[in-house]
Structures are given as structure tokens and as C-alpha cells.
Amino acid sequence: LTVELDETHDPRLLSWVETANDGACDFPIQNLPFCVFRRAGTGDTGRIGVGIGNCILDLSRAAADGLLADANEAAERCRSSTLNALMELGPVGWRRLRGAISALLSVNVVADRRRRAESMILPIADAEFLLPANIGDFTDFFTSIFHATNVGTLFRPETPLLPNYKWVPVAYHGRTSSICLSGHRFARPKGQIKLPDAPAPAYAPCRRLDFEAELGFFVGPGNRFGDPIAIQQSDQHVFGVCLLNDWSARDIQTWENQPLGPFLAKNFASTISPWVVTLDALAPFRTAAYLRPPQDPRPLPHLFDAADQASGAFDIKVGIYLETEAMRRLGSSPHVLANVRFKDSYWTVAQLIAHHTSNGCNLRPGDLLGSGTISNAERGDNGSMIELTDGGKNPLILPDGEKRTFLEDGDCIILRATAERPEATRIGFGECRARILSAQ
């Protein structure tokens, strides 16, 4: 595990992009999240950039101008319209690039380099974003034992947690074609719905539309077909983290789920944030893996590593907000549905990588692994409506008097996340938002 901090994490480091030095900013110089962007309205090909304060530094231009010469190979890979080539490079090149970008954006940079870089800065407000990577495959895990238990109780009261859960990092293979970027809108899905008292299903708009608040992990170099990744090396295969909303149609799910798991209940839309926060930026926020109760089994040897247990979890807090049509009309702020913490994940990210490749399955640069819905032990700290409303039985009353069991047309779900701890600079993940339109 490579969790050493270096000068790029120093909380005293300041940027000449002054908005980056505001303590409440998501993108201080210690963060440096990647994105693919273009100037709004131009229809240009996407370019790789890095977030700094309320701006983006155009890395393709910085690379072309020789401003990132200390990280030449990585810089060359920034002259692309997706992050895949950079993701493929691996941690040594990533760290060198991070050092070069940090030095360029630092207040300590020489005047000539600063002046050249200033001409490559665009306000985020003037940009539009594209998917950060060409996502070849998407696998969604189920790493919160609290979510697994809560949802299991609703679907199978007699056996909420299946016996494999504590041995296998359970997942399903999702779909990449319907992964959309934050800011999009989508129609409420239709599907086969069988009501409990109906003799047969009907094809109708989903009535139990839900969100799932998750983190997404972008795969780095990946492995050759047939070669598992050892858990000790797993970290080197994760490039970075985004926000992910795995929209779910609970009524479609109930009818289709057995025996092969989620299908049309999940693949109508998934939303990700445009920003990819690197594992290097998250180094100060690593923490011990979730402490399993003593009666739980120890993972099998290929899924167990002492160093991973010591620092394989990430202390990331995800805030979930609902903005209804009425709130937008009145200009009121989105309502906080929950705040959840990822550090209680039953499985670490390294365990997910080791498990996914343990049969020889190849992961490729730009593949996306979802954490699964993040829920914590306390009631109300849940990453889905089905948990927050006890399967739709107990509606939430919003501050303006509106009620929600599941999501309604016009509802917008917003995810935001931060990582913070004393003696480190707080970093954020930007936003992941999408709005539900009425069924077509």
C-alpha cells in the first residue's frame, strides 16, 4: 500500500488561483481532481482538465506548452479526449503528474510559468463536461452490510443477509451505455410491474423509483486476461473516485430479480459526477477497514491483507439532497435526505479488485466499479429511499409539507461528498445531480 503523504498534501500549500484557498472550496490545490471538459456551447472535442478553486486548468494545453515536462509521459497522455490512457499509466506516472500540476498551480511557481498557465484557465461556470472516461465495463458491488441487511429484510424477511455475504464481495454486472453525466434528465422508466394482488404483471411507469448513493472507482492499468490481481497490488489499479447514483426501479426489481439479479430495474440510467478525485488526493483520508464483529468470518487469504485492513478504507462523507419541482419554483434550498459515511464499508476497494479478478477476469483502464448503496448502522443514515421510508410505508415529510415515499416527476437528486480530518486540507467531489421527467 502506498499511502505516504508528500508536499502536494501539505495543508500550508496555497495556489495563485485564489478561490482554491478558501477553506470551503471543493478543489483546493491538495485535491486536483481530473475531468474532461470543453468551453460551453462550442461543441469542441473534450479536453482533459484539472479542477482548481472555481476554475479548470486545461492540461492538454499545459502539456503541449511544456509546462508539465517533469511528468512527460503522463502529460502526453493528457492530450486526449478521455482519461483512459492516463488511467492505464499507473501510480508512478500519476504521482509525477500530480507533483508537476501542484508545482505549476502553487504560489511558489516562477512568474513566467504562472503567466503561461493563467492563459489556460477557464472558470468552471463557462465549461461543460463530458464523461471522464470511455467506460468499458461497469460492475456494481454491495459493500454496505447495513444496506444489504435493510434491503434484504424488505425483500426476504426470513433471511435478510444471505450466507455468502460475509465471504464474497457480492456484485452484479451493470450497463455502461446508460451511464450519464451529472446534469442530465431522464424519463421515468416503464417496465413489467406485478402488484401483489394482481393476477398478472402490466407494462407501466415505475411507481417506486429510487436513488442509490454510491461512490464509483475508476480502474487504472488493470490486468491481463487470466492473471488475477493480488490484494497487495490492488490499490495500484485504482485511478480515482467519482460520485455515482445507481437509479433503481424497485417495483420492476421485485418482479424480475429472482433468479439472476438486477436487470431492467437498474440499467435505464446511472449518473456520475464529472470529477475524478485521485487515490493520491485521498491519501490523507485513508483509515482502518471496518472492524468486523468477532463472530464474523475472516476473509479467505486471497481477500485478506494486513496493510489493507490497517488503511484500506476511505473516510468520505456523502450528502444526499432532494430538490422537488415546488422547491425550485419557490427558490428554496434542496432538502438534506441523509449524510452517509463510506468508511463503514464491509469490503475495502482492494478486496473488490482482488475478488473481481480472482477468476482471471480482466479489468481494463476506465472500467467503473460501484461501491453499492452507502448506508450506516444508524436509522436515517441511508443511501436510498426504500430504506429511508421503510419500503414506502413511512413517508418522509419535507420542510415545505410535501411527502415522499419514492421519487416523483420533477425530483432532482444531488450527491455531494467531502473528505476531511484534522491536519489535512478538506477536499470535495463536486456534484452528481439528475432530474426525473415524466414517463414517455
State the cell numbers at 144. Answer: 454496505
Rounded to whole angstroms, the Cα distance separating 239 from 219 reads 6
The sign one gets for the Cα dihedral 159, 160, 166, 168 is positive
**What number of other Cβ atoms are within 10 A of residue 318's Cβ?**
23
Can you name the residues that pair with 241 across neighbouring β-strands? 217, 277
> In this chain, which stretch among 77-85, 92-100, 150-158, 239-247 interacts with Ca ion, using CB under 5 A?
239-247
Pairs from 224-230 (Cβ < 8 Å, separation ≥ 24)? 224/362, 225/360, 225/362, 226/360, 226/362, 227/357, 227/360, 227/362, 228/302, 228/354, 228/357, 228/358, 228/359, 228/360, 229/353, 229/354, 229/357, 229/363, 230/302, 230/354
State the cell numbers at 397. Answer: 415529510
Nearer to Ca ion by Cβ, of 47 and 356: the residue is 356
Those residues whose C-beta lies under 8 Å from the C-beta of residue 349, and which sit 6 or more positions away, are: 217, 234, 235, 238, 312, 314, 369
Q: Does 140 bind Ca ion (CB under 5 A)?
A: yes
Q: How far is the CB of 141 from Ca ion (least distance, A)?
A: 8
- With CB atoms as reference, the residue minimizing the distance to Ca ion is 246
Rounded to whole angstroms, the Cα distance separating 327 from 321 reads 12
Q: How far is the CB of 268 from Ca ion (least distance, A)?
A: 13
Total residues binding Ca ion (CB under 5 A):
3
DSSP state of 154: H
Q: How far is the CB of 248 from Ca ion (least distance, A)?
A: 7
In the residue annotation, 147 being an active-site residue is answered as yes
Q: How far is the CB of 249 from Ca ion (least distance, A)?
A: 12
Degrees to nearest 5, angle at CA 138 with 133 and 140? 130
Rounded to whole angstroms, the Cα distance separating 116 from 269 reads 41
The region, left, alpha or beta by phi > 0 then psi within -120 to 50, assigned to residue 309 is alpha
User: 195-234: which residues touch Ca ion (CB under 5 A)?
Assistant: 212
Nearer to Ca ion by Cβ, of 86 and 407: the residue is 407
Nearer to Ca ion by Cβ, of 94 and 347: the residue is 347
Nearer to Ca ion by Cβ, of 231 and 432: the residue is 432
Nearer to Ca ion by Cβ, of 140 and 323: the residue is 140
Q: Does 235 bind Ca ion (CB under 5 A)?
A: no
State the cell numbers at 15. Answer: 495556489
> In this chain, which stretch among 134-142, 298-306, 326-334, 427-435 interacts with Ca ion, using CB under 5 A?
134-142
Q: Does 387 bind Ca ion (CB under 5 A)?
A: no
Beta-strand pair 179-181/270-272: parallel
Q: Does 246 bind Ca ion (CB under 5 A)?
A: yes
Q: State the catalytic residue, choosing from 9, 147, 355, 356.
A: 147
Candidates 430, 432, 427, 433; CA nearest to 29 is: 427
Beta-strand pair 286-287/427-437: unpaired
Q: Does 256 bind Ca ion (CB under 5 A)?
A: no
**What number of other Cβ atoms are within 10 A of residue 156's Cβ?**
12
Nearer to Ca ion by Cβ, of 140 and 411: the residue is 140
Q: How far is the CB of 323 from Ca ion (least distance, A)?
A: 22
**What number of other Cβ atoms are within 10 A of residue 12's Cβ?**
6
Q: How far is the CB of 111 from Ca ion (least distance, A)?
A: 49
Q: How far is the CB of 244 from Ca ion (least distance, A)?
A: 8
Q: How far is the CB of 437 from Ca ion (least distance, A)?
A: 22
Nearer to Ca ion by Cβ, of 214 and 280: the residue is 214
Nearer to Ca ion by Cβ, of 212 and 256: the residue is 212
In contact, 406 and 392? CB cutoff 8 Å: yes
Q: Active-site positions?
A: 147
List residues binding Ca ion (CB under 5 A).
140, 212, 246
